[in-house]
Each structure stands twice: as structure tokens, then as C-alpha cells.
Amino acid sequence: MTTPSHTPHRMKVGELARKTGKTVRALRLYEEMGLLSPARSEGNFRLYGPDEVARVYWIAKLQALGFSLPQIQGLLHTVESSSTGPDAMLSLREMFRGRLDDTRAQVEKLLQLERDLAESLAYLEGCRACSHDHEVTGCVECDGVHADTQAPSLVAGIHSPSPGRSHDIVQIRSSSASAADPNPT
């Protein structure tokens, strides 16, 4: 009985592209930049194994974090040129710490935007009950539906009409008004 070979499965560039969701062109660019170093077959075909698959996924994850290919190239150079493993990991840790700080700041901005949008949508929901005909700029100073509420910043910004633009009249009908009558009086 023969024992199974422990050599990992090697694949050509097209198979690696299908497996990782990258284009052949992207994989060749990674190779040109020194991010990938495939083995070569006797026929000089590029052959990729599990290490290269892991590297492609790693590159994709770093790109999702906002790293550019030249930054990834620099990161690899820094790690590979470090004199010891701990020095290499220190450099990597510092780069990731900076990216984490940036990511947290972006998340905070997005959370604030979410709060602003939710507040504005809640405010605008009240506008459905408005049955007044008035200029758009009057919506911000509405004392009918929003008598006790100040317009949120995303809504308050509409009060200044664009230069040279006429003041459009908003005709808002209550839900009980007839949809068939386009000009209620």
C-alpha cells in the first residue's frame, strides 16, 4: 500500500483567481510588486499553494482595511527587513494600532451620521400630517406639526434658498385629501 503524498496541491493562476475571487491581472500585479512569489513548474507555469492562497486573502483583508498595495508592499518590506521576529511584529502592531484608531474614528463619524439621519427621519415623519401650503423655507419654521421641536441640522439647512432660485411653494395635502385633485384650493 502506498502512503499519500504530503505535498500540497499546487494550482495555476486561473485556478487561484477563481478560488480567491481575484483577477489573473491582479495576481500578476501582486507578483510584480513582490507580494506573491509563486513556484514555477518545469514548463515555467506559475504554481500556487496554500501559502499563496493565504497571502491573497491577507492582501484582500488589508485592502478592506484601507491599505493600498504600495502600503502593503512597504509593510512586507518592513517586516522582512526587521532583524528579529519581535521587531517585525512590533512594526506590524504599530501599523495596525494606527489603522484601528482611524477605523474607530470613522465608526464614530458613521454612528453620529446614523443618529442625525434617525433624528431627521423622525422629525420629517411628522410632516406627513401637515396640510399647509407654504414655501419650502417655511417647513423649517413650521409651527403646526413641529411647534415644540427644533428642526434637526439635516433639515434646518434647507431654509436658505439657492441664489437666483424662486421660492417654490410646497403643497402638502393631508392623507384624507383627494389624490385625484392635483390643485386643491
The model's pTM = 0.60
Q: Give me the tens of pLDDT residue by residue for the chain, a chain 185 residues long.
A: 444 556 678 899 999 999 999 999 999 999 999 999 988 888 888 899 999 999 999 999 999 988 999 999 999 998 889 889 898 899 889 989 999 999 999 999 999 999 999 999 988 887 777 777 767 666 666 666 666 777 788 887 776 555 554 444 444 433 444 444 444 44
Can you tell me the distance from the alpha carbon of 106 to that of 121, in angstroms, rounded to the nearest whole number? 22
CATH topology classification for 8-67: Multidrug-efflux Transporter Regulator; Chain: A; Domain 2 (1.10.1660)
CA distance 83 to 163: 63
* Domain boundaries, given as residue ranges, for the chain: 8-67, 130-171
